[in-house]
Amino acid sequence: MINYIGECWFLLFTICLVINIPENRGIKMLRVSVPDPLILGSAADLFCDFDMEGAQLYSVKWYKNGKEFFRYMADEIDPIDTLNVHGIYVDGMLNHIMSTPEKSFC
């Protein structure tokens, strides 16, 4: 029990330290929308809305059961890549990343 409490305090201290670093800029997740379990073969829309807080976007990745099935790498020549994962089909015409000065979403 004592070890668990110590680990919690260490984690809380680390979070506070990172939050209080003035140069710390990173991603702030505003909203993620993932549907409930679906009937096999039905379509689903995945949506994420995030604020880069002045930082440059490096990548956006989607996973199912720990396996990556979609990857957006901002600096690549072909930034969007879909990976084969059993039970997942990504419509190449519908995946996109949009960005505004205030926020980005995919």
User: Among all chains, which residue has been given the structure tokens 């519908």?
Assistant: 94
pLDDT tens per residue across span 57-88: 788 888 888 888 888 888 889 888 888 888 88
Give residue 95's pLDDT: 64
Its domain, for residue 53, covers: 2-35+45-105
Q: Is residue 93 part of a domain?
A: yes
Q: Is residue 11 part of a domain?
A: yes
* Domain count of the fold of the chain: 1
Amino acid type, 80: I
Q: Is residue 92 part of a domain?
A: yes
Give residue 14's pLDDT: 40
Q: Is residue 88 part of a domain?
A: yes
Q: Is residue 40 part of a domain?
A: no
Q: Give strand ranges (E) for 1-106.
A: 28-33, 47-51, 59-64, 67-73, 80-82, 98-99, 104-105
Q: Is residue 84 part of a domain?
A: yes
Cβ atoms of 11 and 70 within 8 Å: the answer is no
pLDDT tens per residue across span 83-103: 888 888 887 666 666 555 555
3-7, 10-14, 44-48: which is most confident: 44-48
* Average pLDDT of the segment spanning 27-56: 79
Q: Is residue 63 part of a domain?
A: yes
